[in-house]
C-alpha cells in the first residue's frame, strides 16, 4: 500500500526519484487508467477500453498493456516501447492529497496538495532526480511532475462527464476478445467494454451536433479506432513465446 506524505521542502529536501522504467517499480500491469484528454496520443499506439471499478462499479478508461495480470507488453527491462507513456505511469510516485480550510482560512472548500509515496521503490536519498534545490525551491523535475498530476486531475473530471454521456446514451457494450495465440491456447477475455459504433452513428442529429461540439464524438471514434492495436499485442505475445 502507498504511504503518501504531503511534500515538504524541509522534510523531503534530500529525497530523490528514480525515473527509469521497470517492473520493479510496479509497471508490470496489464491495464493503465487513462483520461480522455490523452486519447489523441494514446490511440496511435494503444487499444483503449472501458472497464468497471471493482469497488464503485463505475466505468473508467484504460489502455490495454497486456492480456494477463502483471503482463506489460510495452515494457522491456528498463525501456517502454512506445513514444507516449500514459499520465498515470509518468506521475509515479506522486499523487494528490487534499487539505480542508481551517477556522482562519478564507479559502472555500478543500485544496489539492502534491504528495509522494515514500515507500515507492523509486524514492530514495542516493540516486535519481532531486525534488528541491538547496534553497528549498522546486527543481524543474518536480515542476514537471506537478504539471503531469494537474493534467491527470483535470482530465479525470472531464473523462467522467464523457463516460456518463456514453452511459446515458446506452453506447457501452462488452468487448469480445476471443484470441488465438500461436503458442498459448485460444483465450477469451471478459471485463472490458467498448462503444457501440453503429448506435453511435445513429444518434439523433441534435445529439451528434452537441457531441461534436463537446468533443465526445471524436473521443468515441478514437476509442473505436484504437482497437486495431490489439493485433500488435497478439503479435508481441507470439514473438515472445516463440
Give residue-wise pLDDT tens across range 20-66. Answer: 999 999 999 999 999 999 999 999 999 999 999 988 999 999 999 99
pLDDT (tens digit, 9 = 90+) per residue, 136-166?
A: 999 999 999 999 999 999 999 999 999 999 9
**What's the mean pLDDT in 184-194?**
90
Mean pLDDT across the chain: 92
Which pLDDT value is given to residue 22?
96
The SS3 assignment for 239 reads helix
Q: How many domains does the chain have?
A: 1
- The span from the CA of 66 to the CA of 234, in Å, is 9
Residue 32: name the closest of 88, 95, 94 by CA. Answer: 88
- Cβ(48)–Cβ(62) below 8 Å: yes
- The span from the CA of 54 to the CA of 56, in Å, is 6
- The span from the CA of 232 to the CA of 228, in Å, is 8
**What's the mean pLDDT in 75-90?**
95
The DSSP element (H or E) to which 88 belongs, if any, is helix 87-90
Residue 102: pLDDT band by 50, 70, 90 thresholds? very low
Is the pTM higher than 0.85? The answer reads: yes
Which three cell numbers mark 171? 453506447
The residue count of the chain comes to 242
**What's the mean pLDDT in 228-239?**
92
Which pLDDT value is given to residue 98?
58
Range scoring the smallest mean pLDDT among 93-102, 129-138, 211-220, 223-232: 93-102
Residue 108: pLDDT band by 50, 70, 90 thresholds? very low
Residue 179 has pLDDT above 60, yes or no: yes
Other CB atoms closer than 10 Å to residue 42's CB: what's the count? Answer: 25
Residue 1: pLDDT band by 50, 70, 90 thresholds? confident
Residue 129 has pLDDT above 60, yes or no: yes
Residue given cell 500488435 in the structure block: 232
- The span from the CA of 30 to the CA of 15, in Å, is 29
Which pLDDT value is given to residue 112?
66
Instruction: Calculate what percentage of the chain has a pLDDT beyond 90.
Output: 83
Domain of 182? 4-241
Amino acid at each position: 500500500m502507498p504511504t503518501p506524505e504531503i511534500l515538504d521542502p524541509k522534510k523531503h529536501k534530500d529525497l530523490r526519484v528514480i525515473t527509469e522504467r521497470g517492473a520493479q517499480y510496479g509497471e508490470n500491469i496489464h491495464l493503465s487508467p487513462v483520461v480522455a484528454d490523452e486519447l489523441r496520443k494514446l490511440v496511435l499506439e494503444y487499444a483503449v477500453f472501458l472497464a468497471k471499478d471493482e469497488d464503485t462499479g463505475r466505468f473508467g478508461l484504460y489502455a490495454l498493456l497486456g492480456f494477463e495480470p502483471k503482463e506489460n507488453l510495452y515494457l522491456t527491462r528498463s525501456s517502454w516501447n512506445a513514444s507516449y507513456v500514459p499520465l498515470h505511469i509518468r506521475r509515479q510516485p506522486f499523487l494528490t492529497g487534499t487539505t480542508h480550510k481551517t477556522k482562519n482560512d478564507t479559502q472555500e472548500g478543500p485544496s489539492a496538495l502534491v504528495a509522494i509515496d515514500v515507500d515507492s521503490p523509486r524514492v530514495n536519498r542516493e540516486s535519481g532526480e532531486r525534488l528541491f534545490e538547496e534553497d528549498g525551491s522546486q527543481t524543474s523535475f518536480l515542476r514537471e511532475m506537478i504539471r503531469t498530476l494537474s493534467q491527470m486531475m483535470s482530465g479525470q473530471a472531464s473523462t467522467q462527464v464523457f463516460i456518463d454521456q456514453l452511459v446515458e446514451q446506452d453506447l457501452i457494450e462488452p468487448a469480445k476478445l476471443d484470441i488465438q495465440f500461436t503458442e498459448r491456447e485460444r483465450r477469451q477475455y471478459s471485463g472490458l467494454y467498448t462503444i457501440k459504433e453503429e448506435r453511435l452513428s445513429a444518434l439523433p442529429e441534435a445529439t451528434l451536433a452537441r457531441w461534436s461540439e463537446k468533443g465526445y464524438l471524436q473521443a468515441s471514434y478514437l476509442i473505436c479506432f484504437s482497437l486495431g492495436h490489439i493485433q500488435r499485442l497478439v503479435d508481441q505475445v507470439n514473438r515472445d513465446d516463440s
